[in-house]
Chains A and B, each alone.
Chain A
Amino acid sequence: MKAPQENAPPRSTFSRGPCGKRRSAARGGEAVAGWLFVAPVVVILGLFLLLPILMALWVSLTGWNGQGSPFRSGVPFVGADNYTSLVAEDGLPRQDFMTSIRNNLYYVFLVVPIQTALALGLALVVNQRMLKSKGFFRTAFYFPSVTSSVAISVVFLFIFANSGAVNALLGAVGIDGPVWFNDSRGLIHLLLDTVGVNSPPGALANHDVLGLSWWDWLSGPSVAMCAIIALVVWTTSGTFMLMFLAALQNVPQQVEEASLIDGANRWQRLRYVTLPMLRPTLFLVLTLGLIGTWQVFDQIYVMSQGNPAKTTLTPAFLSYRTAFKDFEYGRGAAISFVLFLIIVVMTLLQRWILRERKS
């Protein structure tokens, strides 16, 4: 094994020398051709993605009232006013925005880990070589993902209705189920209630951060939000299961066999062999999950419209409501840009946490 490697030329000279030369000499004309090939996509992206984003950015800096074009001379330019009303000024807009951020934070913190873990679990199960009728299970698990989210939302409305399936099941084991979509109590508040804390301690109720008291920030997701969380976890885990499954099938069998020979047990194989090889997929799933959960809109629109008591209000829905129901187009656009920033920051943060650590 050792001898031929020593005789072979160093890898670097082998690849660098001839290739580098050819690129500089012959590829000048190819660059033009390359640009021509990508031109349609560049034009389409510019026209339908970049340009609308820039237009929205402009709207977020104006006090446009929705009459005529926002690019006329008469439209008042208000600078960062729309943004400061969201974060700096005490008032209803900031309160609504911060409430929506709180709701979405709890939503993200619950949905992303649960759906990732569930998707990984399903993928591991479906990937078992012993499993019979794999095709059936794959289809069954993936099915919710290909169904229209609006249709599923409506079905869930029935399932979680007061006399629906969920409460009937809970009733069968003697639990009096909540009125799911009318229940604005937060989970953490409910937990505190069981240990006897049912009114906010003064220290939490009297101190505000960004327009919401500590007690409100620490409410936890409301019961209504939990129903939506259950729905989203159920629908998206199928998609992510497919990604994990594809990655699992790329794990070479030899590696697994080698670990078996080394005497690794089931858990060790998963923890030290399979999971490290899934790292790129894990990153993909977490990123997509993070972005998707911060943008949640259709389930909210169909199921709750932000009710009860604003506990299912999310920034994406608030942006829509502010612009198209309250006619505050500037503030609506500003919310969407703040949301964009949040998503970018969260993704960078997650990338930093999941980075390859060189020991």
Chain B
Amino acid sequence: MGKVKVHRTPPSLDMTPMVDLAFLLVTFFMLTTTFAPEEPVAVDIPKSVSEIILPDNDRMIITVANDGRVFFDMDNKNHRREMLQTIGQKYSVSFTEEEIKSFAILAGFGVPVRNLPQFLAMPPDERKQVVQPGIPVDSLNNELADWVVYARMSNPKLRVAVKGDRGANYDIVKKVVETLIERKVLRFNLITGLEQEV
């Protein structure tokens, strides 16, 4: 006794079940994952106990940043193209095919219409560096109203959601809400995170 037996065969183990599981999980995550859309500005959303889930399609999101800048976002590339063309006609700003293409895949933006061609001409990584001034919502120059109108013209099924930063001043939010009401958008969603009730 006390003799140690030397293993001749190298320790091998059947990895097949593990690999099966790994690929199963990979497939699952690949299919379920949706990449978080790129945000033009970081927004800290307020919390509520509301559990309505925002639909993934046909939505328009108006973001109000902490410092009061307003951003606009809408899904669906085709509708975005259509919207940009009509708004270009209204403001007599012409967009090249390149610019329209890059607008279609753009995330939210906060640039006045006149500066839009210049903004779209930039390469994407340069665009991130630029501090966007926000969409004007003043009563004299309310471009947000036009965006809302033309977005709804290109897609009548659109749902409107307002995504405000918790620290945003109410007077900006009030302007946005009043703009929506004036354009007959009376039912909209406020995006909130889920609050854990204590």
Partners in one complex: no
B contacts, CB < 8 Å to A: none
